[in-house]
Structure formats: structure tokens, C-alpha cells
Amino acid sequence: MSFTQDYSGSALNGAAKEEGATAGDNEDENCCICLDTFKNKKQLKCKHEFCEDCLSKSVETMGPICPLCKYVFGRIQGFQPDGKMTWKTKRTSLPGFPGCGTIVINYDMQGGRQAARHPNPRPDNEVIWHNIHHKTSKSGGPQCFGYPDPDYLSRVREELKVNGIE
């Protein structure tokens, strides 16, 4: 994966905590990943703590995301192919959203396939930006990633909130 692993300052809440306790901590606490006593304890800004090696292995598989609360503590690069994104607005409404305009996003992906490192490379995957689902059809309802979908905006708001955007 291609992201910045920065376990200092910006990514973590301070430097490594190998000694001393923080509020609510006691020396008998264990890492929730390996279930063993902390080794080189690291604390993220979200206050969750892990062994340095456990956090590094988690970052290798999940990216710089807290394994407990999904707080993003670094730069994430997805599995998308090279390409370009453009957008435009239209005055037309979509089913279920009368009187609202439409934002049309166009993706021009070179070769049309996700990169080989993607866990499931296919040309027809749903479009997702860091766990934020996008609609890819004007019709067909939620089962076809389309409209009408009365719960879509509330789901997107929740997905944004999980990613720290309110």
C-alpha cells in the first residue's frame, strides 16, 4: 500500500509511551490486538492504545485507521486505477428527490479496471470513496446502487461522520 506511516506528532498523540500511565490506565492492561501485555505502547489521537508491532501490522492491512473506532490517522490511498474525475450539476431531479438538482460525477479510469492490488479487481464494482458510497444509476433503487433510495442521504451522512466529517 502507498500511504504515509507517521507515528509521531500528527499521526499519534505524542511520542511512544513506553512508561508511565495515562488516566484510566493500569499496568495490567493488554493490547486489544494481540491480547498480550503492551510492548512499546502507542496511543492514537482517538486515545486507543496498541503495541507498536500490532499497530504496524494493522496499518499494513487496513491502512492508517484505528482498528477499534476507525479514526483515520494518516493518508489513505485507495486501490483505484489511474484516471480522472470531473463533475457537473444538472437541474433535473432524481426519483425520490423532487425539486433537487443532480451532481453528476464522471470517472475516466485508464484501462477501466481497478489495480491488481485491489482485493477484488473487477470493472463493475460500486464506486466508493473511502467508505462513502456513491450512486451509479438513476433508477433501480438501492439494490442497483440507484434511485429512489429514501435512506441514501442519511446513510451517506453516517458514513461521513464515521470518517470525521460532519
Query: Which residues does 72 contact at the CB level (< 8 Å), separation at least 6?
Result: 64, 65, 66, 130, 163, 164
CATH of the domain at 45: 3.30.40.10
- 34 and 97 within one domain: no
What secondary structure letter does DSSP report for 37? B
Domain that holds residue 28: 1-77
Looking at residue 47, its pLDDT comes to 92
- 92 and 66 within one domain: no
CATH of the domain at 122: 3.30.390.130
Looking at residue 86, its pLDDT comes to 92
Looking at residue 159, its pLDDT comes to 84
As for how many domains the chain has, the answer is: 2
- 110 and 61 within one domain: no
Per the confidence metrics, is the pTM higher than 0.85? no
Q: What is the pLDDT along the chain (166 residues), one digit of tens a residue?
A: 333 333 433 333 333 333 333 444 445 689 999 999 999 999 998 999 999 999 999 988 888 889 988 888 887 666 666 778 899 999 999 888 899 899 888 878 766 555 555 556 555 556 666 678 888 888 888 888 888 988 988 988 888 887 667 7
Looking at residue 54, its pLDDT comes to 94
Query: Among residues 105, 108, 109, 106, which one has the least CA distance to residue 81?
Result: 109
- CA separation for the pair 41, 45 (Å, rounded): 13
Looking at residue 130, its pLDDT comes to 66
CB 34, CB 41: distance < 8 Å: no
What secondary structure letter does DSSP report for 58? H
Looking at residue 56, its pLDDT comes to 92
- 66 and 93 within one domain: no
- 125 and 68 within one domain: no
